[in-house]
Amino acid sequence: MKDDSGLSNLDAGAADQADMSRPPDQLLVCVGSRVDCEHVIRAAKELATTLKSDWIAIHVETPAPLRSNTDRRSVAHNMALAERLGAETVRLVGLDAAEEVLRYARERGVDKVVVGRPPGRRFLANLRRNFLLRLVSRSRGLAVHVVSGEPGLTSVTSHAAARAWDWRAFSYSLVAVLLSTVLSAVIFGRDNLSDVIIIYVSCVVFVSLRYGYGAALLATALSALSLDFIFVKPYLSFSVADPRDALTVVVMFVGALIISSLTKRVRDQSNMARQREAITSMLYAMSRELAGTLGIDTMLRVTIRHLHDAFDAKIAVLLPDASNELKSIAVGPRSFEIDAADREIAAYVWQNQQSAGARTENFPSSSALFLLLRGSRGKVGILAVKPSGRQAADSGQLQLLRTFAAQVGSALERGQLAEAAQRAQVEIETERMRSSLLSSVSHDLRTPLGVITGAISTLLQDERYLDTEAKRELLDSAHEEAERLNRLVGNLLDMTRLASGALRPKKEWHPLDELVGVALNRLEARLQAREVTVNLPSELPPLPIDAVLVEQVLINLIENAIKYTPLGSPIELSAVAISGGVEISVSDRGPGIPLAQRGQIFEKFQRLKPDASDGGTGLGLAICRGIVEAHGGHIGVDDRAGGGAVFRFVIPIDGVPPAMGGAWQHE
């Protein structure tokens, strides 16, 4: 059944029965730890090229390969070769390698499987052919191609096992058998053979659990020989007088051998479970921390820390800047600096979207591995990993590293999208503020300028035709509008200081009644048609405030009451001491504030009546809130009983105020 190319089809009938509706566009090659697997991989590459199909290199990690680190290094080498030749590499974990390969092949729609024929002596080859026979017998529609190994190549596993012997474990095994023999001889003697067998079997189980399969085999053989030599007649001889005793020795040997094999299987499965748990835990820990992290810099610190701990490697991340040039991000001692050669490799990865560096076909002489970080919208950066010497020699975790890289790429893309959304929100807010400011300039600032300009022009041109009273009225109008313009410009400047954080209150102790008096004096002209009631208890303590700023709050609140209430309606100022401070209120008898607008009335450029001709810039209440919050207080508005609105703000009192002329002492 072998053709000239060295490929033999063990299941030609199965290929004829394959589902013709499925396009034959994928090929799968089984990768193991043997040296001749390189020849199998290259043959699979040639077949895929001939068929013009994609191909997948798959390795199934079962308990058996766990007995040697050399096996894992060989698998890593073979998988790296397949990747360099253009294969998609996949690693699976399972107890039955043949079943896992077939399951994955059917999931991916693969119709051809390439596997190597085991070399070696007839007996060993038959043992190794177990996987091949199971694969062929269960293929059901898959074409299985078998590639002969290159002559002269031997199994890495057998040599690795010879090199991996642990002489200390064998010594402990020998000691355990000696102790079991002495214990059996002292306690049971030569008349209780069944009890002696139990001791020896227990010894084999202990050695298998503690020191591994090789030591358990040695303990099994030594236990059988010790039983025959010491406890079976004729004593001190390896011959057996009674055939039943010979059967007992054989049964004990076979039983101990089976038990040690089962113990090894359980131990290997436990090791695999621990490995899977460790991998899952590492991925979960990094994913969970990245999910709760905001900001690209913080995400990079989390990424570098987790990858350093998982792979014992130095990590660097390169992200594109505004001009799409890669910029190295190094955070802390877990990172490494990117030199000129590394930048060249990173640029290649970014341009061609292929892995490069160590253990790849591109720039294999590099000490670092460069992987492309991808998100759902495309490439987001480059991950550079520089393993330690130990890890580089024992690396079989490229697929795991790519899984980590996929998580990192998704997280960085999320961070970039969040930053872009934040920038867009800032731009929207800036544009809204700019529009509001331009609206204010076009109306609220131009109106007083127009009045002032008109009054002065009239005085200049028609001065000889105007009497003294008319001139006085024009000057009063110009003066009033100039003051209005001054207030508008002052509000804009105050809002700018608040937004930039430059407004810092210079707190000193002041009595509240003085501030109220100053505010009312400044607004005396506008309050002539109003009844103003001031209710300030004499026992109010002085306040730690910036007098100029709090005076501005009072003026803005009173002006707000004047502007939005009927002419001649009363205004009331009151204050009351509360726990931890003083609450100050400005009440009016106007229409009040609608409930829907109370949450927005203290925002910038918010006006109760946006189209009112005398509405101002909508900054007065926003400035009040900024000043009060700068003092550590808070401000709000409520309905007033009987109609109207009540604006309340609280100024906290920290520390002990000085005695104000002996009128008040803080208790």
pLDDT surpassing 90 at residue 535 = yes
* pLDDT, tens digit, 9 for 90 and up, residues 571-601: 999 999 998 899 999 999 988 888 878 777 8
The count of other CB atoms within 10 Å of the CB of residue 122 is 7
Structural class in CATH, domain 296-418: alpha beta
C-alpha angle 316/89/145, rounded to 5°?
Answer: 165
> pLDDT at position 259, please?
77
CA–CA distance, 335 with 332 (Å, rounded to integer): 6
Query: What is the CATH topology of the domain spanning 505-652?
Result: Heat Shock Protein 90 (3.30.565)
Q: Is 649 left (phi over 0), alpha (psi -120 to 50) or beta?
A: beta
Q: Are 384 and 406 in contact (CB under 8 A)?
A: no
Q: Read off the tokens for 428.
A: 């929207």
pTM of the model: 0.45
If you search the block for the tokens 């401070």, which residue do you land on?
581
How much is the average pLDDT of 423-435?
74
Task: State the Cα–Cα distance between residues 419 and 19, nearest whole angstrom.
Answer: 50
Please report the DSSP string for 254-288 in residue order: HHHHHHHHHHHHHHHHHHHHHHHHHHHHHHHHHHH
d(CA 348, CA 124): 46
Question: So what's the architecture of 7-162 in CATH?
Answer: 3-Layer(aba) Sandwich (3.40)
Find where tokens 């079943």 sit.
99
Work out the percent of the chain whose per-residue pLDDT is above 70: 78
CB 263 within 8 A of CB 208: yes
Is it the case that residue 524 has pLDDT exceeding 70? yes
The beta strand positions in 546-608, using DSSP E, are 571-578, 581-588
Q: Is the pLDDT of residue 166 over 70?
A: no
pLDDT in tens, 96-150: 788 888 888 888 888 888 888 766 544 344 444 477 788 888 877 788 888 875 5
Q: Above 50 in pLDDT, residue 9?
A: no
* pLDDT for position 65: 45
Residue 426's pLDDT band, with cuts at 50, 70 and 90, is confident
For 177-206, the pLDDT digits (tens) are 888 888 888 787 777 777 788 888 888 888
Residue 164: is its pLDDT beyond 60? Answer: no
Collect all residues with Cβ–Cβ distance below 8 Å to 80 and sequence separation of at least 6.
359, 360, 398
Q: Give the confidence band of 377 by pLDDT, cuts at 50, 70, 90.
A: confident
Q: What type of residue sits at position 244?
A: R
Q: How far is CA 4 from CA 7, 399, 539, 540, in A?
A: 8, 35, 111, 108
Q: Directed axis angle between helix 122-137 and helix 97-108, to 10°?
A: 40
pLDDT, residue 501, reads: 62
Which tens digit of pLDDT belongs to each residue from 287-298? 788 887 788 888
Asked if the model's pLDDT at residue 359 lies above 90, the reply is: no
The b/e string for 425-434 (b: 16+ C-beta within 10 A; e otherwise) is: eeeeeeeeee
Most confident of 45-54, 78-87, 252-261: 45-54
Mean pLDDT of the chain: 76
C-alpha to C-alpha distance for 494 and 625, rounded to whole angstroms: 12
Quick one: tokens of 305? 């820390």
Domain ranges of the chain: 7-162, 165-270, 296-418, 505-652
Residue 209 has pLDDT above 70, yes or no: yes
Return the pLDDT at 410. Answer: 84
Greater model confidence, 5 or 549: 549
Q: Cis peptide leading into 234, omega within 30 of 0?
A: yes
Mean pLDDT of 225-240: 77
Position 3 pLDDT exceeds 50: no
Q: Which residues share a beta bridge with 378? A: 375
Please tell me which residue, 420 or 129, carries the higher pLDDT value.
420
Confidence of residue 499 (pLDDT cuts 50, 70, 90): low
pLDDT over threshold 90, residue 271: no
Pick the most confident of 199-208, 328-337, 530-539: 530-539
